[in-house]
Chains A and B, each alone.
Chain A
Amino acid sequence: MKLLNGVFFITAIIVLNSCSKEESSTLVLNCPQNKTEAAFQSQDSINLKFANWLSSAKVSGGCNAAVTNDHLSAPNAFGGSVTVTFTATSTCGSPVTCTATFTVNDDPSSLGGIRNVYYKNLAADPATGYDPMTGAPIGYKNLFTFFRFSDTTLVPTTDSATGKWDIAFKSSTIIINSGFSGPGSAAAFVYNGLFSELKEVPQDSVFKQDVSSTELAIGKSWYNYDPAAMILTPKPGKVFVIKTANNKYVKMEILSYYKDSPASPNAFVDQARFYSFKYVYQPDGSKKFE
């Protein structure tokens, strides 16, 4: 909430009119107010709101005054912020500038109790170095990274034998806190469909637990691997439906396996084993996601 509570950067710089012949007035530029949008709108909707926000800059006074901005594109619908500089120009007198920030919230837990989260770059045992001779990534620690949905928190490895975590990642393997993998009672299944269309957990859902290393509730069912390009791609339309260790429901979708979610990852450039994913957490124990 840093940005919501932050200072509004409305800057109005008043410049004394230097036009002499006609009745002159001061060039005034009113930046739009800093704005924060809730997460998990569509990108189109964010783009539209951003465009409206840009056009709400007001200029008055001066001669033939016009306002321009440095035309940044809208932030990602999953979260991010953009600071735009607006410039007012006048045929009489110097230009005036102001800046304002447009934010898409990535942690709007205040919204009706349901938690919408876009989580970036969860490190799932990435390489810690490169072989100086071959350039191959090396130095894997062979450890899972544990995660809790309710407060979007990484859980230390020392707590792996507790019920404090819900899901864990190591390279392309995903386990949940149940059965073979942990002491918890988590359960999950992979739903075929669109994340946005899954509005509640279907009645006939069959939740599974991790039974053995080869029989995992989620396991490796969620990706395609291209051995030629050596690229792992999360399958579209695979939504994990998870009942957490504390009996709450989550829907989750993996978006990228590479650091900073490049649009077309390159195995030799982009770092693998960095998960970006989105999830919706329903804290009231119901099966509804909205």
Chain B
Amino acid sequence: MGYFCESTGVNFAFRMRILALLFLISMHLCLLAQKDSVHLDEIIITATKTQRSLVSLPMPASIIKNKEIALTGTSRLEDILAEQNGLTVVPQINGFGNGLQMQGLNPDYTMILIDGEPLIGRFTGNLELNRVTLSNIRKIEIVKGPSSSLYGSEALGGVVNIITKSPEYDKFQIGLKYASHNTLDASADANYVTGKFSLSLFGNHFRTDGFDLFPDIFGQTVAPYYNTTLQFKSKYELNENHIFQLSAKSFYEFQDNLFQVVNGQDSIKVSGQSRIRDFSLNPQYKFRLGEKVYMNASLYGSLYHTDTRLLKNDSNETYYTDTFQQTYIKPEIQSSCYYLKDQKWTAGFGATLESVETSRYVDGEKRTQNTKYAFVQHEWTLRKQWEIVSGLRYDNNTIYGAQWSPKFAVQYSAGDKLKLKSSVGTGFKSPDFRYLYLNFKNAAAGYYVFGTNELKAQIERLANEGGILSYSYDPNSIGKLTAEKSFAVNAGFQYYYAEGSHLDFNFFRNDLDGLIESRAIAITKDLKTIYSYSNIKRAFTQGFEFGVYHKFKNGLQLELSSQILYAKDKEVLDQIHAGLFFGRDPVTQESYRLKESDYFGLYNRSRHTETGKVFYENEKHHWNASLRVIYKSKFGIDNTAGSVQGTIRPSSDTNGNLILDSYDQFVPGYFLCNASVGKTILNQFVVQLGVENIFDYTNPSSIPNLQGRIVFVNVNYKLIK
């Protein structure tokens, strides 16, 4: 790994040396250490990159178990995440997927991992959650609050780690799900274990006719598509000290588009295909030195490719083409060990090498950015009552420079039942390539968006061609983009009042600085607005989550949880405090001054989210059932939300000030109810019936990702040798 020896400058080399020294010292001390006691409850790995019991974890985290996924009958990642307290799946209007919002932070700021390695292929910051099948998931770990101290960029709001099943014994399993809209989800999983070698092969095929929320308009809201996932996992245990693993995953999606583009009084019918290809490979070597030192060397490579071609139906002329290819390579070496009694050191270093090549950038050339990083973490159980985790990570990015991410978390056990926990930490996100290189022209709506690196040249070109009418911002002062940053505090408690039952409370506050927003730079003589990006926004999200998880003796389990969220723009608040924020009544056209109490907050966020779930399992007669109710209170949508099937999504802002306040038109709150019932026959077959969105609630223009009622039947067959 000669790569790691390279250094971009003295400063970097010096810091790397300090970290390397810390690493060596901790390794040395490990050899003197003793063995820790093993917890026998739920294990979570994402929060500390080490095996750790959920009960002893000082940060807010939760686990969605395989059993919950099976009981609900959900089959794609989006469906199960949307039912979790504090997580919201927000629609992205242009049809390129729905993003995940955590603690009120935008989808850009939550890292999604599969088996500990990042899922790539974001479109305008969102990861398409339907890409991930749930059929081979062992569990999903969710860590809230910044985790940049371990994962670096992107893990600003939190981390969702999807852990797939590993081969444990010989088995063959097939699952078939058929649902409304002619949706089929079929999967097969074969595992083979022999002595030191184990192997699993998994395949999933998903197809749907899509759905149409506007039957009167040509085309569908979501066009028909299918996708195929193949996964291979293998493990070879040479002996208990040396383990080799190799996993590979491939994904292919094909969508047949047919829709109409409305432009003024004109409409163009358009059709064509879009394809997504995604491939990843992950060899790993695990090494154990005695009982005390564990090491893991891994190389992760991922390729994501999309390709869209749309033709005008009448003339067969090209309407739109787009290609996008992203590669991501990440070598990492990590080591954990025990230092003295009840202490554990973890340290690691690695690099990420990213490139993007797309028609959306000015010349279609490949763009790259590389990051070198190192981290250390110390876990300490003090007098059996205190759990202390502290960590620090250093990242050095070829474009955005250095970034330090510290984290400190502590838990105090007041008796066996009550755990008080709090954590502080920082997070960051290096800007996407698009913020630097985007070259986007929307001829119909009359605007351009240029990345900051392209802005000057493009403005010069436009100035030569037709001329710039006026500047609203000096393009020379747009400057270099820097990483977006957060500082977060989480504090709460867990009270384990009975076997399998607990109360959970967590307060959170995220202070966000330097958020990137588009900014109008100039207007051309033919009245097209030119936008670019700048680190201008300061915001915060804060609130709390509360949950009761109660297990009855008869197989009934009840979960009630809620989140209260306040997310506001600090600039807006400052102006309101100064008495300089106004609204205009759209009917009387009278302007008025806004009070602080009038300001609702950022768009796309409900103040209240409530979740109620009941799970029932009858062990005697082998049947189970679930009922889940999710409530989201009113929220607003902003004016950049675009259109759905050519229907303009109405902006919530009605009083001309662009922010969401009490005078505006909110999207009303709504309930969703999902239910399922399943039975196991002959120990091998599981038959399940379910309904999602029982009351068929839809709001086509405001919540276009909410399809109506879906009925499904699920059949599973499992053969164990």
Contact = CB atoms under 8 A, between A and B. Distances in A.
Contacts of B472: 220-221
Nearest to A135: B265
Contacts of A227: 442, 445-447, 529, 640
Nearest to B262: A268
A236 B583 CA distance: 5
Contacts of A233: 656
Interface string B443-456: 00111000000000
A130 B589 contact: no
A100 to B, nearest CB: 24
Given A220-B470, A228-B640, A136 B591 contact: no
Interface in A65-109: 76-78
Contact of A193 (B580, B589, B648, B657): B580
Contacts of B447: 227
Interface stretch (A2-10, A145-153, A255-263): A255-263
A220 B523 contact: yes
A229 interface: yes
Contacts of A171: 527
A237 B529 contact: no
Interface in B462-515: 468-472
Interface in B257-281: 263-266
A195 interface: yes
Given A193-B580, A226-B639, A263-B586, A214 B592 contact: no
B476 to A, nearest CB: 13
Contacts, number: 106
B265 A130 contact: yes
A134 B640 contact: no
Interface residues of B, number: 44
Contacts of A78: 589
Interface in A135-190: 135-137, 171-173
A133 B580 CA distance: 45
Interface string A265-283: 0001000000010000000
Contacts of A43: 588, 590
A216 B589 contact: no
A134 B582 contact: no
A234 B266 contact: no
A207 interface: no
Nearest to A226: B639
Contacts of B264: 134-137, 268
Contacts of A236: 582-584, 591-592, 655-657
Given A220-B470, A264-B586, A228 B656 contact: no
Interface string B555-594: 0000000000000000000000001111110111111110
Nearest to A262: B586
Contacts of B434: none
A104 B363 CA distance: 61
Contacts of B655: 236
Contacts of A220: 470, 472, 523
B649 A228 contact: yes
A235 B656 contact: yes
A234 B584 contact: yes
Contacts of A255: 584, 589
B654 interface: yes
A230 interface: yes
B306 interface: no
Contact of A234 (B446, B590, B651, B656): B656
Interface residues of A, number: 45
B643 A228 contact: yes
Contact of B263 (A134, A228, A263): A134
B642 interface: yes
A237 B583 CA distance: 7
B641 interface: yes
B1 to A, nearest CB: 47
Nearest to A44: B588
A76 B643 CA distance: 34
B658 interface: yes
Contacts of A247: none
Contacts of B523: 220
Nearest to A231: B639
A228 B529 contact: no
A235 B593 contact: no
A247 to B, nearest CB: 27
A237 B266 contact: no
Contacts of A193: 579-580
A276 B648 CA distance: 25
A224 B656 contact: yes
Contacts of A172: 527
A194 interface: yes
A226 B639 CA distance: 6
Contacts of A228: 445, 639-643, 648-649
Given A192-B580, A227-B442, A136 B656 contact: no
B577 to A, nearest CB: 14
A118 to B, nearest CB: 9
Contact of A229 (B469, B587, B593, B651): B651
Contacts of A237: 580-582, 584, 591, 593, 657
Contacts of A221: 472
A226 B656 contact: no
A137 B584 CA distance: 28
Contacts of B590: 42-43, 77
A214 B471 contact: yes
Contact of A256 (B263, B581, B589, B592): B589
B557 to A, nearest CB: 44
A256 B656 CA distance: 10
Nearest to A132: B265
Interface of A: 42-43, 76-78, 130, 133-137, 171-173, 192-195, 213-214, 216, 219-221, 224-231, 233-237, 253, 255-256, 261, 263-264, 268, 276
Given A43-B588, A194-B591, A214-B469, 4 more contacts: A136-B266, A225-B520, A227-B529, A228-B642
26 contacts: A43-B590, A78-B589, A134-B264, A135-B266, A173-B469, A193-B579, A214-B468, A214-B470, A220-B470, A221-B472, A224-B658, A227-B445, A227-B529, A228-B445, A229-B648, A229-B651, A235-B657, A236-B583, A236-B584, A236-B655, A237-B581, A255-B589, A256-B589, A261-B589, A264-B654, A268-B265
Interface of B: 263-266, 442, 445-447, 468-472, 520, 523, 527, 529, 579-584, 586-593, 639-643, 648-649, 651, 654-658
The 6 closest A-B pairs by CB, nearest first: A135-B265, A237-B582, A236-B584, A236-B582, A263-B586, A226-B639
